Amino acid sequence: MIKTDFLVIGSGIAGLSYALKVAQRFPEKKVLVITKTRIDETNTKYAQGGIAGVTDFENDSFDKHIQDTLIAGDGLCNPRTVEIVVTEGPERIQEIIDWGTRFDKDDEGDYKLGREGGHSEFRILHHKDVTGKEIERALLETVGKQKNIEINKHWFVLDLITQHHLGYLVTKSTPDIECFGVYALDQQTNKIVTILSRITLLATGGNGQAYRTTTNPKIATGDGVAMVYRAKGRIENMEFIQFHPTALYEPGVSPSFLITEAVRGDGGILRNNKGEAFMVRYDSERKDLAPRDIVARALDNEMKRAGTEHVWLDCRHMDKDRFFEHFPNIYEKSRSIGIDPAHDMIPVAPAAHYSCGGIKVDEWGHSSIHRLYACGECSSTGLHGANRLASNSLLEALVFSHRCYLDSIQQVETAPFMENVPEWKTEGTTEPDEMILITQSLKELQLLMTDYVGIVRTYTRLQRAMKRLDLLHEEIETLYEMTAVSPQLCEVRNLITVGYLIVKEAQFRKESRGLHYITDYPEKSPILQNIVL
Ligand SMILES: Cc1cc2nc3c(=O)[nH]c(=O)nc-3n(C[C@H](O)[C@H](O)[C@H](O)COP(=O)(O)OP(=O)(O)OC[C@H]3O[C@@H](n4cnc5c(N)ncnc54)[C@H](O)[C@@H]3O)c2cc1C
C-alpha cells in the first residue's frame, strides 16, 4: 500500500501543471503522479497548432475571444466558464513561459500569433508546429527539479476507491460519494497496489481510440471517464466528439498524423477530387476557416458524393520558406511519404480528435465525487459546449488545473486517509490465453463507432450501435470476471463504456447542434440542455 497527500493521474499538461503547483505550495507534502506508459506519451505531446490566449490587446480583446468561443460552442457553453478561461488564460500562459516554454517570436521579440478556424483574430501562441511537445518538455524539466514529486511510469490505474469498496451500496443517488484513492497495476511487477490519497486529480485525457481513425495516441482510451462512471459519478456531453477535418490520409496508420488548422490559417485550401475549392459552398464567408464541425461535415459530404476516401489540401501557392519555417514537422512528414507540399496536394480526411464532454466538474474542478477533481480533456467544464474552438483545450487544462490547485489546497488538511480499505481481489482469475478476444473486441468497437457514430448520425445507426455495444459489453464483462487484469483488457472495457456513453447521450439529444449532427433531427431544439448520465 502507498499513501500520498496528492495523487495525480496523468502526465499531460493538466496533470503536470497541477502537480507542480501543489508540490511548490507544500514542499513537505508528497505528490504522486501516475502515468500508464512513457511519461511523455500524452495527447499533450502531439498538440501542434498552439494555445489560444489574448496577448495582443491592441488588436484583440477578451470579449472577442469570449464571443468566438461561444459561437463555436453553439449555445451550450457555460458563459461563466468561458469568461473564466479566457480572462484567466493569459496569466496561466505566462506561468508556462516562466517554466521554460518557448513560443515563437518575430525579429522584434513579439510573439508570432497564429490564427485557426473560428478565431476572429490572430491569438494562437505556438512553437513551430510542435507546441505540445515543447510544453511537455518544459513541464517535465520543471517537475524533474521538484523533489517532492514522484512519478510512477507504466502504472495503470484500474479503479477509484470509494465507499463501494468498504462494502456499502453506492448508487447514482448516493449523496457524498467519496474517493479514497485508486487501485493501480504496476506493470513492471504485475502487482496491483492500493494507493490511498487525501486528494485525487484525474487528468487522464481523451478517448479518440474509440474510433478507428483518430489523431489521438494509443493512451487515449477514456479511462478516467469510465472509472468515474463505474464509481457512479456524473458524466456529460459525451456525444460531442470533434473530428479534425484534416488528418493525413494514410490507410492503415494509427494514430493519424494531424495537419493543423494553422495551415489553412496561413492560406491552405481544401479541394475535392475535381480540384474544386468546395468550402465556399458550405460557408461562403469563412470558407476554409469555418469552425471544425462545418469543415468536417463538408469533407464527409464531398467524400461520400464522390465515393473517395479523402480530399486534398492545397498548399502549393503558399510561400515555401514560410511553410517550412512554420510547419517543419508537417513538411518532413509529407516528404517522408513522397509528397512535397510545394508541388503536390496533401491527401486529408477527418479523424476523431477531441472529446468536448467528460467528467462533469464545477468551476473549481470538483467532480460529483468528493475529494476527486478532474481537469484537462477528461473533464467537462462547460467551456466547449457543443463544439471546441481550436486551441482552447490546452488553455482550459491550464486554467482548470490552477483552479483545482486553489481549491484542493484548502481541502487537503482536513481530508484523512481512509482506513480498512481492502486489497484488490485476484482470486479465481487466470492469465488471458486468448488475446484475440480482447483485440477483436477493440476492432469491432472502433469500426462500429466510426461507421455508426461518426460525423453524420442517424437514429437507426445509433440504435444499431447500441445493440452491438450491449453485446460487446456483455462479452468483455465476462472476460473481466474470469481474467487477470491487464491494461489491454481494461482499456477495451473502458472504451466500450465510453462508446456506450457517447451513443446513449447522442440518443437523448433529439436535435442537431455543434458536433452532434443527426439527419432525423436536423434543426436545433429551442431548449438548451446538457445531457448528464
Ligand atoms: C494531434 C493532436 C493535436 C492537438 N492540437 C492541439 C492544439 O494545437 N491546441 C490545443 O489546445 N489542443 C490540441 N489538442 C488537444 C490537446 O492536446 C489535449 O486536449 C490536451 O493535451 C489534453 O491534455 P491532458 O493533460 O488532459 O491529457 P493528456 O495529455 O492526454 O494526458 C493524459 C495522461 O493520462 C494518463 N492516463 C490515462 N489513463 C490512465 C490510466 N488508466 N492509468 C494511468 N495513467 C493514465 C496517460 O498516460 C497520460 O499521461 C491536440 C490533440 C491531438 C491528439
d(CA 221, CA 210): 7
Distance in Å, CA 206 to ligand 1 centroid: 6
- 148-154-157 Cα angle (round to 5): 85
CB of residue 34 inside a 6 A radius of ligand 1: yes
CB of residue 182 inside a 6 A radius of ligand 1: no
Low-confidence ranges of the chain (pLDDT < 70): 428-429
Q: pTM above the 0.85 mark?
A: yes
CB of residue 50 inside a 6 A radius of ligand 1: yes
Q: Which amino acid is at 167?
A: G
Rounding to the nearest 10 degrees, give the CA dihedral for residues 295, 298, 302, 305. Answer: 160
d(CA 474, CA 469): 8
The answer to whether 216 and 446 are in contact (CB under 8 A) is no
pLDDT at 486: 92
CB of residue 15 inside a 6 A radius of ligand 1: yes
d(CA 358, CA 363): 14
pLDDT at 117: 80
Q: What would the DSSP string read from start to end of 149-218?
A: EEEETTEEEEEEE-GGGGT----TT-TT-B--EEEEEETTTTEEEEEEEEEEEE-----GGGSSSBSS-T
CB of residue 125 inside a 6 A radius of ligand 1: no
- 131-133-135 Cα angle (round to 5): 70
Return the number of other C-beta atoms located less than 10 Å from residue 258's C-beta: 23
Atom number, ligand 1, closest to the C-alpha of residue 214: 53
- Please tell me the residue having the least CA distance from ligand 1 atom 13: 47
Q: Which of 34, 42, 187, 489 to mutate to test the pocket of ligand 1 (most atoms within 8 A of CB)?
A: 42
Distance in Å, CA 179 to ligand 1 centroid: 23
- Please tell me the residue having the least CA distance from ligand 1 atom 51: 47
List, for residues 44-89, the tens digit of each pLDDT value.
999 988 999 999 999 999 999 999 999 999 999 999 999 999 999 9
Q: Is 402 helix (H, G, I), strand (E, B) or coil?
A: helix
List, for residues 245-276, the tens digit of each pLDDT value.
999 999 888 899 999 888 998 899 999 999 99
Atom number, ligand 1, closest to the C-alpha of residue 155: 43
User: What is the number of residues in the chain?
Assistant: 533
d(CA 146, CA 31): 10
Comparing C-alpha atoms, which of 529, 22, 517 is closest to residue 242? Answer: 517
C-alpha cell at 168: 456499502
- 220-124-48 Cα angle (round to 5): 35
Q: Which residues of 53-81 are buried (b: 16+ CB within 10 A; e: fewer)?
A: bbbeeeebebebbbebbbbbbbebbbeeb
- 83-85-91 Cα angle (round to 5): 115
Strands 124-125 and 372-374: unpaired
Atom number, ligand 1, closest to the C-alpha of residue 377: 26
Distance in Å, CA 380 to ligand 1 centroid: 14
Start-end of H helices in 47-130? 62-73, 79-98
pLDDT at 428: 66
C-alpha cell at 405: 490547485
Distance in Å, CA 50 to ligand 1 centroid: 13
Give the residue numbers annotated as catalytic, written as ranges: 292
Strands 2-9 and 31-34: parallel
CB of residue 261 inside a 6 A radius of ligand 1: no
Q: Is 496 helix (H, G, I), strand (E, B) or coil?
A: helix
The answer to whether 377 and 13 are in contact (CB under 8 A) is no
DSSP structure class, residue 516: B
Q: In the chain, what is the straight-line distance between the N-terminal and C-terminal CA atoms, in Å?
A: 33
pLDDT at 421: 94
CB of residue 201 inside a 6 A radius of ligand 1: no
CB of residue 487 inside a 6 A radius of ligand 1: no
CB of residue 32 inside a 6 A radius of ligand 1: no
d(CA 183, CA 192): 7
The answer to whether 424 and 183 are in contact (CB under 8 A) is yes
Atom number, ligand 1, closest to the C-alpha of residue 15: 25
- Please tell me the residue having the least CA distance from ligand 1 atom 20: 44
List, for residues 456-510, the tens digit of each pLDDT value.
999 999 999 999 999 999 999 999 998 889 999 999 999 999 999 999 999 999 9
Q: Is 52 helix (H, G, I), strand (E, B) or coil?
A: strand
Atom number, ligand 1, closest to the C-alpha of residue 156: 42
Distance in Å, CA 203 to ligand 1 centroid: 8
CB of residue 35 inside a 6 A radius of ligand 1: yes
User: At which residue does the C-alpha cell 469570449 appear?
Assistant: 66
Distance in Å, CA 358 to ligand 1 centroid: 13
Q: Which of 182, 392, 393, 399 to mutate to test the pocket of ligand 1 (most atoms within 8 A of CB)?
A: 393
